[in-house]
Amino acid sequence: MNAQYTVFHRYGTLMAAFIVMLILLLVIIASSAGFSYFDISLLASGGTTLALAAIGGTLVILSGGFDLSVGAVISLVNVVLAAGYIDDNTPAAFALSFGLAILVGAACGLVNGVLVAYARIQPIVVTLSTMFIIQGITLLVMNSPGGTVPSSLGTYLMGDILPELFPASLFLILLSLLVWAWIKRTPFGLHLYATGGNAEAARAVGIPIARSYLLTYTLAGAFYGLAGFFLSAQTGAGDPLVGNSLLLSVFAAIVIGGTRLGGGKGGPVGSVIGAFVLMLIVNILLLFNISAYYSTIAQGVVLIMAVMISGFGKEAELRKFLRLLRHRIQAMRQRRLASQLNQESKYIDACAGASASPDSHIAFNRKHQKDLRISLPALCGLIVLLIATQIFLGRNVFEWSYWNSMLVLSTFLIILALGQGVVVFTGGLDLSLPWTIALSGILFTGLTQGTNEALIYALPLILFIGILIGFANGIMVAVLGISPIVATLASNGILQGIALLYSGGTPSAYPSPLISWLMTARIAGITPVIFLLIIFVILAVFLLNKTRFGRHVYATGSNLHAAYLSGVPTRRILILVYVLSSLSAAVVGVLLTGFSGQASLGMGDDYLLPSIAVIVVGGGLITGGRGHYLGILAGVLLLTTLQILLAGSGLPYAVRPILFGFVLLAAVALLREKAR
């Protein structure tokens, strides 16, 4: 997909504009009250926040990166403006608020840029970490909705530049696009496209890559600040979660607008039009009295379809798969193997005839010397935190009661780490875990209704649904060639909509008593789930280190093309790892209901960053190909011990995501050189 310059990319802006006009015509026809200037102004203001955020996100995409912190930055700007620092209804207050919003957004972008450009950490890791760090800071500023933004924002932004002719919101978008038109013609604009098209070639011709990344993320942050500025004018109050729902919409708007994921092609103009496409889709749902819960489903589906269309070139992954499928069908008709259609086989099966691992006779310490070395920091950190717990909390870490509690709290991450781990080992990332967990828990409690009898069909059904979710993610990544980040982000939005529709927004059922007993009872001082946890860890280590599947996972992550040419069924492996990830999340969703006594909509939100952090802290390489489950297990125990220490210290809950974000960044930075 990244190497193709398809018709969609060439004419993406025009296609998006045509779609806007088509949807707008549909809205006008369906509206019984007619279509006035007020409606135009309302539609314009409704899409402005997303359009401004999409402009910033497009800059990052053009440079070849991803920015997952966009929603968090918008929320931070909103609560800063609503915290009561500025309360005057004057042009000076408006200008001061504007400057503060741009400054906060640009500062967040500057941090991202420094880490990407000079610390050379992968953009997805940087922005995922800063997303949680910024969310924690936002909660420290304002932990619940409230406050009041300066009234001057609404006065100037919710009105008209020209009465009954030109809304202020459209003027703000036009001004932003004029700034982009100027930037595009500067050396930085040329460097931005060159860097996104081919970073190594750009570096070879003397383009300052690091400076380009720094300016890109800083400028993107400034546009996020502008989006938060306008959103604050709309809401008139602060909400620490107000920007969280924008992440999926931003990526969808960018792709609909014709910008190529991977960089080098596209621009903010198309993204602005894409933002209004999404806004009009939501308005159509409301116009036909369709539940607003369908909005995330629609956005996820639109994102997937747009990515598929944009990547359908000659070398698209789907076309490769169809050619391979046709080749195999032809071989079956001739009663031959696919490789026998040609005189020479195209593949070398490196694993054929190997009944056991070729290095199975090597001593354990020599065979796993590298894994033990990269896992050592997690073990040392665990020991330090245990000592700190003993000293500062006064808890005896040598008592079984402490370890029993810690292992029960670790259960969810231990299971998730296997699924997320195999995905990361193949070079991917599963962002659909939060709502896979939530949907599984909500469906499970809804089916069991607090009884044990329903377990007979409820539990297998939930596990089967988890398998289907993973299979869909795997097909999007392995067969359709969609980026794992985009595929699982879209899947997460779709699952969120399904969960909201099923529960009506308020889950109320209770889990099976047997699951609650499994998570809370004691047998000779041991919680029953710990016995199952020991078996799970043994099977996980065996799966990754003693089976062909495990070897194929590491081979796929080390070099996908080399693994494919060596006979590794890479597509099948990619599908299976996402199936395992979603299945693990479904199990966690079921167990969480037993632990907490009920299901809730946000029950999976706290596990996305830790599920990635434990892999990196345990020595896994975020780009794939390296890691050991025992090292990940040490990372899980470290983060759980840190969680216990934070809970006992009396620090606010918002400190937890901040520390987890710093832990992830520090682990990636410290282990980067060893990974090379």
The DSSP result for 394-407, as a single string, is ---TTSHHHHHHHH
Please answer whether residues 243 and 71 qualify as being in contact, where contact means their C-beta atoms are separated by less than 8 angstroms.
yes
Please answer whether residues 241 and 134 qualify as being in contact, where contact means their C-beta atoms are separated by less than 8 angstroms.
no
**Whole-model pTM above 0.75?**
yes
pLDDT value of residue 356: 45
Cα distances (Å, whole numbers) of residue 374 to 85, 417, 559: 47, 17, 20
Most confident of 165-169, 346-350, 590-594, 655-659: 590-594
pLDDT value of residue 372: 63
Please answer whether residues 231 and 61 qualify as being in contact, where contact means their C-beta atoms are separated by less than 8 angstroms.
no
Cβ neighbors of 495 (< 8 A, separation 6 or more) are 432, 435, 436, 438, 439, 469
Angle, alpha carbons 471-580-244 (nearest 5°): 75
The rounded distance, in Å, linking the Cα atoms of 342 and 106 is: 58
Question: What percentage of the chain has pLDDT greater than the value 70?
Answer: 85
The 10s digit of each residue's pLDDT in 367-381 is: 556 666 667 777 888
pLDDT value of residue 349: 47
Please answer whether residues 258 and 11 qualify as being in contact, where contact means their C-beta atoms are separated by less than 8 angstroms.
yes
Taking each helix axis from N to C terminus, what angle separates 268-287 and 37-62, rounded to the nearest 10 degrees? 140
pLDDT value of residue 342: 52
Q: Is the pLDDT of residue 612 over 60?
A: yes
DSSP state letter for 160: E
The rounded distance, in Å, linking the Cα atoms of 59 and 123 is: 13
pLDDT value of residue 1: 41
Q: How many CA atoms are closer than 13 Å to the CA of 309, on its beta-carbon side?
A: 20
- pLDDT band with cut points at 50, 70 and 90 for residue 551: very high
Mean pLDDT across 459-468: 96
- pLDDT band with cut points at 50, 70 and 90 for residue 672: low
Please answer whether residues 243 and 72 qualify as being in contact, where contact means their C-beta atoms are separated by less than 8 angstroms.
yes
The rounded distance, in Å, linking the Cα atoms of 236 and 87 is: 12
Please answer whether residues 492 and 432 qualify as being in contact, where contact means their C-beta atoms are separated by less than 8 angstroms.
yes
pLDDT value of residue 10: 52
The rounded distance, in Å, linking the Cα atoms of 120 and 25 is: 47
What helix, strand, coil percent values describe the chain, rounded to 5? Answer: 70, 0, 25
Q: Is the pLDDT of residue 337 over 70?
A: no
Q: Which string of b and e fits 199-229 if b means at least 16 CB within 10 Å?
A: beebeeeebbbeebbbbbbbbbbbbbbbbbb
pLDDT value of residue 644: 87
Residue for token digits 């830790």? 610
The rounded distance, in Å, linking the Cα atoms of 540 and 547 is: 10
Please answer whether residues 511 and 592 qualify as being in contact, where contact means their C-beta atoms are separated by less than 8 angstroms.
no
Q: Is the pLDDT of residue 357 over 60?
A: no
Please answer whether residues 563 and 552 qualify as being in contact, where contact means their C-beta atoms are separated by less than 8 angstroms.
yes
Give the CA radius of gyration of the chain.
Answer: 26
The 10s digit of each residue's pLDDT in 27-50 is: 666 666 566 767 778 888 888 999
The 10s digit of each residue's pLDDT in 595-609 is: 998 898 889 988 998
Question: What percentage of the chain has pLDDT greater than the value 90?
Answer: 43
The 10s digit of each residue's pLDDT in 132-149 is: 999 999 999 998 888 888
Q: Which of 59-73, 352-366, 626-640 has the lowest mean pLDDT?
A: 352-366
pLDDT value of residue 13: 65
